[in-house]
Amino acid sequence: MTAAISFKGLSRHFGDVRAVDSVDLEIGAGEFFVLLGPSGSGKTTCLRLIAGFERPTAGRIWIFGEDATAAPPYRRPVNTVFQDYALFPHLNVRDNVAYGLMVRGDAKAARRKSADEALALVALDGFGDRKPSELSGGQRQRVALARALVMQPKVLLLDEPLGALDLKLREQMQGELKTLQRQLGIAFVFVTHDQGEALSMGDRVAVFDKGRIQQVGSPEDVYDRPETPFVADFVGASNVLSADMVHDLVGRNAPASLRPEAIRIGFGPLAGVVHARAFLGSATRIEVDCDGQKLKVLIPKGGEVPQMGDSVTLGWSEGALHIMDSANG
Ligand code: ATP
């Protein structure tokens, strides 16, 4: 099957800054694909390269098999939802949604019908006559979504679209976006720096660091089987054990990831002293200093939490220690 988006050796440099640095990537036609990484890692630049707002310094990009490397944005079957929504304050909701159709030259009645259908899709029926200022943040986000969807893109690009929303609304919109993507069956390419959001929404996740992709895989892959210490640490703040420590423990000479929730206190091969404690609500996180290597341990609510300064022994179940043989980060 032809990929929706495909990159080969794609780079975008700004002077000395390698915002995107020789990236190869394929995104499937019906995929919810997440670009995850810290601030400045190149996610937005990558999205802008797909949209055509940026020209690559090197490499090529194909959209549904067609070379789009030099195509202007309006010739690409993609549309973008920006974090700041970028709605026109003087236009009502319907005219905001229909704006692209007007620029394209659609007749008024057809524009109105399409805009109302798009508003229904995002559960905003009946809001067409309001001004953006008369809407909540979540509703404005939905208008921005409707405005992008009304153009019937084959790929929807979303740049941190939920960043401005409070946690509860954010979680609600995550569910709604996921449902909408399934319903429409088009590819969504979603940028976020929030690993929880990436894991809960993505069919696949690409983890970015310094303009490069460190790993692409399912949420389970990047969480349970990180390929580099960077991925282990960034996705779920795992413990990264040094190669020396792993050698002492299991005889292999490579770093390993060990999830804080996989560690049990009481019996095992490591001993250390509790030197930090943080109550998180549903769990307590402690940090144990094992001869200079600090390990985070997550104790679920109801579990016995040791005191600061206590000596403890740490163990884990078989398979919890994930050795990163191919580590380069
Ligand atoms: P954030 O989550 O903060 O938006 P990001 O991962 O999306 O970050 P980018 O916006 O793609 O990162 O930026 C990647 C790097 O490229 C950064 O170092 C940024 O400063 C730089 N950069 C991006 N756009 C430009 C530009 N137009 N001119 C110069 N440098 C730029």
Ligand 1 centroid to 134 CA: how many Å?
A: 33
Which residue(s) pair with 216 in the sheet? 206
CA angle at 197 for the pair 97 and 115, rounded to the nearest 5°: 10
Mutate which of 14, 162, 210 for ligand 1? The one with the most ligand atoms within 8 Å of its CB, which is: 14
Answer whether 255's CB lies under 8 Å from 229's CB: yes
pLDDT in the model for residue 88? 92
Phi, psi torsion values for 96, nearest 5 degrees: -60, -50
Query: One-letter amino acid identity for 152?
Result: Q
Mutate which of 17, 57, 195, 212 for ligand 1? The one with the most ligand atoms within 8 Å of its CB, which is: 17
For 190-216, the pLDDT digits (tens) are 999 999 999 999 999 999 999 999 999
pLDDT at 329 > cutoff 50? no
Close Cβ partners of 312 (under 8 Å, ≥ 6 residues apart): 265, 266, 271, 272, 273, 274, 288, 306
For 47-61, the pLDDT digits (tens) are 999 999 999 999 999
Average pLDDT for 90-118: 93
Average pLDDT for 150-177: 88
Q: How far apart are CA 113 and CA 97, in angstroms?
A: 11
In this prediction the pTM is 0.89
For 109-156, the pLDDT digits (tens) are 999 999 999 999 888 889 999 999 999 888 898 899 999 999 999 999
**Structure tokens belonging to residue 111:** 């524009």
Residue 206 CB less than 6 A away from ligand 1: no
45 CA: nearest ligand 1 atom: 11
pLDDT at 39 > cutoff 60? yes
Question: Average pLDDT of the chain?
Answer: 92
**Structure tokens belonging to residue 179:** 């449902």
**Structure tokens belonging to residue 208:** 């970015």
For 255-272, the pLDDT digits (tens) are 999 999 999 998 899 999
Answer whether 10's CB lies under 8 Å from 60's CB: yes
